[in-house]
Structure 1
Amino acid sequence: MRLLNRSAGRLSRHRRGPVAGLVLLLLGLVLSGGLYAALSPAQAENTEPTAAQVEKGRELFLVGCAFCHGQNGQGISTKDGDNQLGPSLVGVGAAAVDFQVSTGRMPMTQPGAQAPRKPEVYTDEEVDALAAFVASLGPGPAIPDEQDYSTADLSDEERQEAIVRGGQIFLTNCTACHNFDGSGGAMPRGGYAPTIRGVDPKHIYEAMLTGPQNMPTFSNGNLTPDEKRDVIAYLESTDEEPSYGGFGLGGLGPVSEGMFAWLLGLGSLVAFAIWIAAHTTRTTKKKKVEA
């Protein structure tokens, strides 16, 4: 009994010592870290660009982009300084490069008010290299992961809720330029808001994140990633929704519909009235001649 009491006393003194407290703290950290690693969701693989990828991107940049954007991405202005051949790319991030190059907007054939979408020039590997080089010039938005913009994992109920939320965001912030169903529209000074119907969700997300051309930037501080995905869910619903009114005239709204009604509708009525009047006059003249 005395031996047990002595052993318990020694253990009690060790537990109260500073070393015992440090050991318990380390054990707690190791245990909590192990449990978190075992139970947390799988994380995306490390996609940090390598030095070789950045160097390859620099080589591609010097050949295809430096004429307008400068050898170091600093941008180039015209001699009078009033216009830019190409803006600075320092700090635009990899997402802007992925959007512009993957959609074929860059490189442009010549400077202009709008960069139209066209077949892409570079392969996916070359796009990643260009994005890595531009990202090395300064911090900016990274290329989003699929989980940021994909709606495939949403249940039917979650999708409907996302469509409602996304529709409210879209109608508040986007319809002035892109129209209520994303069909696009005209902009001042030769620009236009392109159609975003049928566009890859990744590119829609990147456009909101980086603000290409005249589009405002909706950073994650303005619209959270979940809100951006809600907007994508709404646009996907407009792609799936049939046109119950028949010929939708491109979904461009009251301007095109009013012009169609004025030219075709009223024009047809006027032409028909003129034909009736002319036919009535010929019939009257014929009856007078016969009489």
Structure 2
Amino acid sequence: MGEATDRRPLRRHGAMKVVALVAALVLVGLTYSAVVPNGAAGADGPQSQQIEEGRRLFAVGCASCHGLHAEGGTNGDGRQAGPSLIGVGAAAVDFQVSTGRMPAAQPGAQIPQKPPVYTEEEIAALAAYVASLAPGPAIPPAESYDVSKATQSDIVRGGELFRTNCTACHNFAGRGGALPNGRYAPSLMHTSPRNMYQAMLTGPQQMPVFSDAVLLPEDKRAIIAYVTQLQQQDNPGGFPLGRVGPVSEGLWGWLVGIGLLVVVAVWIGAKVPRIPRKG
């Protein structure tokens, strides 16, 4: 009886160890589920497959300039062929590839816009791959650049912000303009709200970066609302002449107006009968 009584505390102590171990495992599981986002994908999840597809597309179409691991590349002369993409974020990739600027046909002072080479799914895969390399600006959600509910006061404020920050390059009417060394600011007349927001967020090519610390998201949305109104604006005169102001209008009036007067004067002179001279 004495020996049986002495063993009970030992069995209870062993059972307490098992209970403590189970409780610790449950606590760890609850903590992990609270810390890891609900949308996190496993190693074989859809997100991982998208990143792998992006890596494959990058190796085929982008690595020759940007390096096999997006670290940047050089050409045969030792000059930079493509900058590093580590940390540029998904928004920069989405802007450059969806506007056809990347992949570039050839390096130059300015990479022009052209029809995109990749599909939307392939662009999303490339963006996911580059975003997986290092943190960077993400592709903005649709509500960030949705201007369907913009008020007149939003458009007016957007015009003020546009004239302050953008007209030096893009022209007060958003038609673009020349820059030094063969570069130029493109026209915004056919730029989508999504790409306008991403351009301000990432600063492609010569454009400066207007982060949320420089321009608040609502300020970016106001600028987009103003430019969208410019895109929809009619031309009361019929021919916009680039909307660069009185210079082009005056030059057109001088060349056409004075040119017509010269033509009319010559025509009148040709019609006047000549009086023969007397002996």
TM-score by length of structure 1 reads 0.75
Between 1:94-103 and 1:196-205, the stretch displaced more is: 196-205
Q: 2:61 aligns with which of 39, 43, 64?
A: 64
Q: 1:101 aligns with which of 93, 97, 101?
A: 97
Instruction: Say yes or no: does 1:135 pair with 2:136.
Output: no
Q: 2:270 aligns with which of 241, 266, 279?
A: 279
Call closer, same or farther: CA 1:220–1:53 in 2, change over 3 Å. same
Q: Deviations over 1:193-229 (max 9, x none)?
A: 1111132110110011111111111111111110000
Tell me, in whole angstroms, the C-alpha distance in 2 between the residues paired with 1:87 and 1:53: 23
Q: 1:172 aligns with which of 164, 173, 188?
A: 164
Name the residue aligned to 1:120: 116
Matched residue SS, 1:85: strand
Return the letter of the residue paired with 2:234.
P
Identity %: 55
For structure 1, which runs of at least 5 residues remain unmatched after alignment?
1-44
Question: How far did residue 46 of structure 1 move?
Answer: 5.0
Call closer, same or farther: CA 1:72–1:120 in 2, change over 3 Å. same
Q: How does 1:125-274 map to 2 (within 5 A)?
A: 125-152=121-148, 154=149, 158-274=150-266
Q: 2:73 aligns with which of 54, 76, 80?
A: 76
Tell me, in whole angstroms, the C-alpha distance in 2 between the residues paired with 1:47 and 1:144: 19
Tell me, in whole angstroms, the C-alpha distance in 2 between the residues paired with 1:143 and 1:288: 84
Call closer, same or farther: CA 1:84–1:165 in 2, change over 3 Å. same
Return the letter of the residue paired with 1:139.
P
Tell me, in whole angstroms, the C-alpha distance in 2 between the residues paired with 1:232 and 1:47: 33
Q: Deviations over 1:233-275 (max 9, x none)?
A: 0011112221122211132334433432332223333343444
Call closer, same or farther: CA 1:47–1:230 in 2, change over 3 Å. farther
Tell me, in whole angstroms, the C-alpha distance in 1 between the residues paired with 2:219 and 2:40: 25
Tell me, in whole angstroms, the C-alpha distance in 2 between the residues paired with 1:238 and 1:130: 32
Return the letter of the residue paired with 1:172.
T
Instruction: Say yes or no: does 1:288 pair with 2:276.
Output: yes
TM-score by length of structure 2 reads 0.78
Tell me, in whole angstroms, the C-alpha distance in 1 between the residues paired with 2:114 and 2:233: 26
Tell me, in whole angstroms, the C-alpha distance in 2 between the residues paired with 1:46 and 1:218: 29
What root-mean-square deviation, in Å, do the aligned CA atoms of Structure 1 and Structure 2 show? Answer: 2.3
Call closer, same or farther: CA 1:287–1:150 in 2, change over 3 Å. same
Aligned residues, how many? 238
Alpha carbons 1:184, 1:252 under 8 Å: kept:
no
Tell me, in whole angstroms, the C-alpha distance in 1 between the residues paired with 2:231 and 2:250: 24
Call closer, same or farther: CA 1:263–1:217 in 2, change over 3 Å. same
Call closer, same or farther: CA 1:46–1:256 in 2, change over 3 Å. farther
Question: How far did residue 133 of structure 1 move?
Answer: 1.0
